[in-house]
């Protein structure tokens, strides 16, 4: 009888524990599983291209666009997970030292083939010995967000420029497109769902980028982002500062 009561109590306790799981936690767990599944799918698509399964150039082009679309979905999921993490505890960011050239090249790699097929060159101006401290996962998604937008807007060139000094790290990403709309540049604060990044967007990507920049702090100074039309031939420019 005693064992029966103990088992009943254990089962009830387990059910109570499940009830205590809030919707946000369940959603975060589900997003994590979806992200991993997409990662596997993208890996298979890459293998198809490597094996030459897309027998024609058109087939390979379609695979490239499919990979890029899948990568965007994966990045959006990573972004949501990161936002959940920051909302839960902004001390959870993982600050590590990274070689900047290696990091940017890793960020660019998933986009290179798709950009090349559109005739858009990806240029990188960075000291190969430069290092900085930041959360690579979060900053990587910020860069991916920008690249997804530039894929639609750039004409022939996208340029990364990275500068480091005593005052911090400045990363600028510029294109030779039409630039940001005047209404965006007039805003002094980026708010969720209030602005359009080039066109057709809720602004979540910029809102996220701003949150991530501000979460990077050093000696009382927080990071920031800036938008302007000082890119290539007055194209768009996205600037990220990290202290």
**So what's the pLDDT on residue 181?**
86
Both tokens assigned to 178: 């039409």
Contact 218, 207 (CB under 8 A): no
pLDDT tens figures, 118-148: 999 999 999 999 999 999 988 998 998 899 8
pLDDT tens figures, 15-47: 444 334 455 665 666 666 676 667 666 666 666
Which ranges of the chain have pLDDT less than 50?
Answer: 1-2, 4-21, 54, 188, 192-200, 202
Both tokens assigned to 109: 């790699």
Q: Pairing relation of β-strands 224-228 and 221-222?
A: unpaired
Contact 225, 239 (CB under 8 A): yes
**So what's the pLDDT on residue 178?**
93
**So what's the pLDDT on residue 33?**
66
In 3D, which of 216, 213, 208, 236 has the Cα closest to residue 225? 213
Both tokens assigned to 81: 């997970």
As a whole number of angstroms, the distance between CA 71 and CA 184 comes to: 26
Residue with tokens 């990071």: 223
Beta strands in the chain (DSSP E): 96-99, 121-125, 131-134, 157-165, 168-175, 217-218, 221-222, 224-228, 237-242
Both tokens assigned to 216: 């990077």
Long-range contacts of 189-198 (CB under 8 A, 24+ apart): 190/225, 197/149, 198/149, 198/152, 198/153, 198/236
**So what's the pLDDT on residue 25?**
61
Give the CA distances from residue 46 to residues 50, 65, 92, 150, 170, in Å, rounded to whole numbers and listed in that order: 6, 11, 32, 22, 32
Both tokens assigned to 170: 């400045």
**So what's the pLDDT on residue 197?**
40
**So what's the pLDDT on residue 15?**
41
**So what's the pLDDT on residue 60?**
61
As a whole number of angstroms, the distance between CA 68 and CA 93 comes to: 27
The whole-chain average pLDDT of the chain stands at 77
pTM: 0.71
Taken as a whole, the chain contains a residue count of: 243
């Amino acid at each position: 009888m005693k064992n029966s009561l103990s088992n009943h109590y254990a089962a009830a306790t387990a059910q109570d524990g499940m009830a205590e799981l809030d919707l946000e936690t369940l959603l975060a767990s589900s997003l994590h599983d979806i992200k991993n599944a997409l990662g596997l799918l993208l890996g298979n698509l890459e293998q198809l291209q490597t094996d030459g399964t897309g027998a024609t150039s058109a087939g390979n082009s379609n695979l490239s666009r499919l990979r890029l679309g899948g990568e965007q979905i994966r990045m959006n999921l990573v972004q949501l997970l990161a936002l959940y993490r920051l909302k839960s505890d902004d001390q959870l960011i993982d600050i590590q030292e990274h070689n900047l050239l290696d990091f940017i090249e890793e960020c660019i790699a998933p986009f290179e083939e798709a950009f090349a097929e559109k005739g858009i060159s990806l240029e990188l101006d960075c000291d190969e010995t430069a290092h900085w401290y930041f959360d690579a996962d979060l900053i990587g998604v910020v860069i991916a967000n920008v690249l997804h937008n530039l894929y639609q807007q750039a004409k022939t060139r996208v340029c990364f420029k990275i500068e480091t000094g005593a005052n911090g790290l400045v990363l600028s990403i510029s294109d030779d497109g039409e630039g940001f709309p005047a209404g965006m540049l007039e805003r002094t604060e980026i708010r969720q769902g209030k602005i359009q990044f080039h066109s057709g967007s809720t602004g979540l990507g910029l809102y996220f980028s701003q949150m991530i920049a501000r979460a990077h702090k050093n000696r009382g100074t927080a990071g920031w982002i800036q938008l302007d039309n000082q890119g290539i031939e007055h194209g768009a420019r996205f600037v990220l500062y990290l202290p």
